[in-house]
Every structure is written in C-alpha cells, then in structure tokens.
Amino acid sequence: MMDFKIAVLAGDGIGPEISVQGVDVMTAVCEKFGHKVSYEYAICGADAIDKVGDPFPEETYQVCKQADAVLFSAVGDPKFDNDPTAKVRPEQGLLAMRKKLGLFANIRPVQTFKCLVHKSPLKAELVDGADFLCIRELTGGMYFGEKYQDNDKAYDTNMYTRPEIERILKVGFEYAMKRRKHLTVVDKANVLASSRLWRQIAQEMAPQYPEVTTDYMFVDNAAMKMIQEPKFFDVMVTENTFGDILTDEGSVISGSMGLLPSASTGESTPVFEPIHGSWPQAKGLNIANPLAQILSVAMLFEYFDCKEEGALIRRAVDASLDANVRTPEIQVEGGAKYGTKEVGAWIVDYIRKA
C-alpha cells in the first residue's frame, strides 16, 4: 500500500476537462489497490498569467515540490500565440517548471494501437507493432543557452556539459535494459561540436551496459528512419532541440496525438502529462480525447513500480477502444457519440469492475 500526494495542474484550454478524467482514474485505481491518494490543485500557464501575472508562480512550484508526482494537463492560449511582443507566455511556465524541478529527462512512448493503425499516415505494415521510447534531454542546449537578438543578427548557443550528457544517457541505457536492450543515440556529430561530445561520452559509457546494443545515428537519418522503419527503434536518446522535433514526428505515427502520454523526470518531483497541446478551440465542448491523460496516470504508477496498477489502466484503455467508446476524432464511422466525460466514466467503471 502506498500513499500518493499528487499535485494537479490542469492549465489551459482542454486541460481542466481531461485533468478531471485523469484524477478520477487515479482515484479508482487507488481504491481498487488500497492506496491512499490526496490531491493539491495549483494554477499554471495562461490561467496563472491572468490570475497572478506569472505562468508558474512560486506557490505552484511549492505545491509541486512537496508532491510525490505532478499530474499536468496542458498550457497555451491563442491570445499569446498571435502576439510576438508578449513578454510573458504560458509556455514559459513549462520551461520554468522543468528548470525548477530539475526535470532533465522527457520520456515519450510511441506506440500503436491495433484498432487505430488505419488512422496512421503511414502504411499499416510499417506501423503495426511499432513501440519505442524517445528520451529527450530537457534542460540544456539551445533552449536554455545564451541568446542574442538585434535587427541584423541573432544567435542561440547550443551548450552541453559532461554531467548533463552523462545523466541523460544513463536514463537511456537504463530504459533500454528494461526493454529490448537496443539504444540509438541521435546526434549531428558530423557538423556540431556539442554532438561530438555526446557521441564521445556515449561511446565511453556503452561498455558499462554490455547487454545493450548501442548504435549512433545522425538526426536527419533518424527522422527518415522513423518514417521508413519505425519498428527499428527501441529506445532513442537525444538532445533538447532534436528531441523536440523527433518526438512530435513520432507522436503522429500512432494516428492520434490524443493517445500518447509522457513523463518528465529528474532531480525532484516527476511530471506526467499528455503530449498534445491545450487545443483551445475545443475548450468546453466535451470532445477532447482523455486517453493520453489517463495513460499518463498509468506511466505515473509504473514509475513508482506499481506495475499491476499501470497494466490495469492500459487494459481499460484498450478495452474502451475495442468497444468503440471513443471521442469523435477516432470514432469509427457510425459509432456512438462519446465525449471526454463519457469515455473517462466508462474507463473508471471498467477499473472498478475488474
């Protein structure tokens, strides 16, 4: 039996609607397995800017720091997207959260669901059975390096240090050990000095994991290989900028971004969140797919080594898809109409009866 103290950050757009479904599933699983769970709610993103002028206020940080895990939903609002002069943006809250909690590793599974393979932009035979992890370094590189901009010149500095590279590669090797023992280190070592250091350190560390087959791939080649042969990959590890691009490429392979969860882990409280954005156009319409948020809860349990709990959530999600209990964007033609709440309620019911 465990006690879970969960910080809930619903954020913007569809965030609050899917957040409720994640919390309900977490509660149902904890009841089923005899765990105690308590929730502390905090503001972030555009919602927090409107309320207190800061997308990740100190109070929210304290709530996250004192929790065992953060169940996060989404941030972002069009009023900021369309204003290039805005000094404070919802997304800065995400960067601040990662930095303050020391979340240096972003773990994104790319997996396909048999009944949704036809939704993938790739041919069924390419994607059926694809199942890999993208591990992205989250707090270094160009996004956090020294920046400069005037009317005629701008630069971003892509800097990495040995400790930053070693700790993320360690995460990559350890996940590979738990899976199919194949790690692909993605870089641009033919052009970038920072990438050459990544590759050098990876080659130094590889002998410590003799069971893992380690290979190296330039990022342009990796982007092609993900489309041509997604089943080649098991665990892929890369730096911040490349990881940002490749994880989004990977996310559409499965056919719906509404299905994929992620975890960000590091020195402090881990954060579990869906990979899709805040989809402000759908706010309040009860059409957002809650499955990525629900699968984030499965990842949360698995992180704490509660494998049965995670497996039950995954079975419930698979069962809902098989029963065509789906939100509009993945519903089969002529299938019944289900909204965010209805899909969440169906899954909670399945968990309770299991």
**CA-CA-CA-CA torsion for 275, 294, 48, 328, nearest 10 degrees?**
70
Contact 257, 275 (CB under 8 A): yes
Identify whether 305 is a catalytic site residue.
no
Of 244, 283, 303, 341, which one is the catalytic site residue? Answer: 244
Of 220, 318, 322, 349, which one is the catalytic site residue? Answer: 220
Report DSSP state, residue 34. T
Of 81, 248, 318, 349, which one is the catalytic site residue? Answer: 248
Of 54, 188, 216, 234, which one is the catalytic site residue? Answer: 188
Q: What is the DSSP string of 275-319?
A: SS---GGGTTSS-S--HHHHHHHHHHHHHTT-HHHHHHHHHHHHH
Of 100, 143, 225, 303, which one is the catalytic site residue? Answer: 143
Residue 277: half-sphere exposure toward Cβ, Cα within 13 Å: 12
Residue 305 among known ligand-binding residues: no
Residue 248 among known ligand-binding residues: yes
Identify whether 143 is a catalytic site residue.
yes
Residue 352 among known ligand-binding residues: no
CA angle 95, 176, 223 (to 5 degrees): 60
Residue 167 among known ligand-binding residues: no
Residue 77 among known ligand-binding residues: no
Q: Would you mind telling me the total number of residues written for the chain in this entry? A: 354
Identify whether 220 is a catalytic site residue.
yes
User: How far is it, in rounded angstroms, from Cα 106 to Cα 103?
Assistant: 8
Q: What's the distance, CA 204 to chain centroid?
A: 29
Residue 322 among known ligand-binding residues: no
3-state secondary structure of 153: coil
As annotated, the active-site residues are: 143, 188, 220, 244, 248
User: Which residues belong to the annotated binding site?
Assistant: 98, 108, 136, 220, 244, 248
- Residue ranges for the known binding site for substrate are 98, 108, 136, 220
- Show binding-site residues for Mg(2+): 220, 244, 248
